[in-house]
Structure 1
Amino acid sequence: MDKPIKVVIVDDHQVVLDGFIARLQLEDGIDVVGTASNGLEAVDAAKQLRPDVVLMDISMPLMNGIDATRLIKEELPQIKVLMLTMHDSREYIMNVMQAGAVGYMLKEISAEKMVQAIKTVNQGSTYFCESVTQTLFSQEVIPAAQKPNPLSRREAAVLKLVAQGHSSKKIAVLLNISYRTVETHRQNIKHKLDLHSTAELAKYALEQGVVDS
C-alpha cells in the first residue's frame, strides 16, 4: 500500500484552515501533518515536518505565500508547493510560478478537484484549475525574449557553478548544501529550461550572461 501524501496547509484564517482539514481528513491517501498561519510559519513547518505537498495561501501577515514558496523551494526543492488562493490575476499566477510553485487553484475549488490537484503535483506534474488556465491563455503570450528568469536564486547559483565546470559534490561544498539537494536543483533547472545535458546548461548560462564567456 502506498504511503499517504503528507500535506501542510497554510492560511491566515482559522475557519479556512479548519475547512480544508475537514475536507482532506476524509481521504485515505492524504495525511494533514501540520498547518501554518503565515509565511514564516510555513517555512518553519516545511523544515520541521518535511511534507510532500504544501497548500499555500498568498496574502498573509509577516511573510506572503510567494516569498515563503521561494524560500521553501530554495532550501527544500523536493517539496511541492500548490497555491490555494482567491487571487486569479495573471500577475499573481506568473509571480507564483516564478517562485517555484507547481500548481495554482482558487479557494472555490471542489473537494474532489483539490484532492486531484494534490495527487497530481505529488506525482511530479503541474496543476491549474480551469479558471486559472483561462486567465493564463486568454491574454497575449509573452515573447520568449521578454520572459523573466524562471530560476530561483539558489538554482541560478547552482547553474553558474555547473557552467564553471564544478561537480555536484564540489557545488554541495561551495553552497553548504547536501549532494542530494544539488542534484535535485540540477533536475529542476533542466525541467524549467527544457535542457537535457550539462553542455546545454553551460551554453544557456553563457547566453544569459550567468557566467562570462
Structure 2
Amino acid sequence: MNDIVDQKIGRDGKIRTLVVDDHQVVLDGFVARLQLEACIDVVATASNGLEALEAVGVHHPDVVLMDISMPIMTGLEAAEQIKQQYPQVKVLILTMHDNREYIMKVMQAGAVGYMLKDISADKLVQAIKTVHQGSTYFCESVTQTLFTQPISDPVNSKVNPLSRREDVILKLVAQGNSSKKIAKALEISYRTVETHRQNIKHKLDLHSTAELTKYAMQKGLL
C-alpha cells in the first residue's frame, strides 16, 4: 500500500485535497503543482481506490482528485463508495479516458467533475475551486464528447448499472462462491466484497442470492 502522506497545516480557508493515481510520477507531479496554490492543501495521497476510500475516512478532504483506471479498486468504484459514505466530499475525475460511456458512468457514480489529463495546470486548479464551491466541472473536450456522440435510446436499450468489478463479483456469487472465497480469488478484502454485494443488490433492487443468481443467468453471465 502506498504510504498516505498527511500534509495538513491547519490553516483556515484552504481546500483540503486528496490526490489519487496509481502512477507515482503522475501523482508526484499533481501534488507538486497543487502545493504551489495558497488556497489548496494536499492532505493525503493514495495509489488506488481502496486507499482513497480509507484516506477520506482519515483525512476528511473537501475534494478528491482521482484517476479511473487503478488496481484493487477503480476510481469509479471508489467514487460510488465515497458518495455513499461521505456525501459532502466532492469527487473530481482526472483521466485519459475520453468516451461517453466512461463519462456517463462517472456522473452516475456521483462525481461532480471530469477532466482529461492533458488539461492545463491552471484549469486543474480552477476545477478544484469550482467543485469545492458546489458546482460541476467538465473540461471542454469532455463537454464536446457529451454533446457530439450519439445518445442511446433509453426506452429500447438497457444500460448495465453495474461496474465491471461488480459484474465479476455477481458472476462469482451466482456460481455459489462465498464472500471469503471471492475475496481470496480477487485478492481483495472480505469487507470490500461485502460492500460490493450490498451495492449490487441496491442497484438491481434484489434482496437474495437466489435473485442475484437468476439475474446473472438472464444476463448470460453463467
Query: 1:147: how far off?
Result: 8.5
Aligned to 1:167: none
2:95 is equivalent to residue 62 of structure 1: no
Aligned to 2:117: 107
SS in 2 for 1:133: helix
Matches within 5 A, 1:1-213: 3-142=13-152
**How many residues are matched?**
152
Give the residue type in structure 1 aligned to 2:149: Q
Query: 1:141: how far off?
Result: 3.7
Per-residue CA deviations over 1:43-87 (Å, capped at 9, x if unaligned) read: 000111110000010000100000000001100000000000010
Per-residue CA deviations over 1:19-38 (Å, capped at 9, x if unaligned) read: 00111011000000000000
Give the residue type in structure 1 aligned to 2:138: F
SS in 2 for 1:33: strand
CA distance in 1, matches of 2:84, 2:160: 15
CA distance in 2, matches of 1:70, 1:105: 18
For structure 1, the residue ranges without an aligned partner over 5 or more in a row are 151-208
Identity of aligned residues (%): 70
Query: 1:140: how far off?
Result: 2.8
CA distance in 2, matches of 1:7, 1:147: 36
CA RMSD of aligned residues (A): 2.2
| TM-score, normalization by structure 1 | 0.67
For structure 2, the residue ranges without an aligned partner over 5 or more in a row are 1-10, 162-204, 206-222
Where has structure 1 moved over 6 Å in runs of 4 or more? 146-150
Query: 1:105: how far off?
Result: 0.2
Aligned to 2:190: none
CA distance in 2, matches of 1:147, 1:121: 30
SS in 2 for 1:7: strand
CA distance in 2, matches of 1:79, 1:102: 10
Higher alpha-carbon deviation: 133-142 or 86-95: 133-142
Give the residue type in structure 1 aligned to 2:85: E
SS in 1 for 2:122: helix
CA distance in 2, matches of 1:108, 1:140: 24
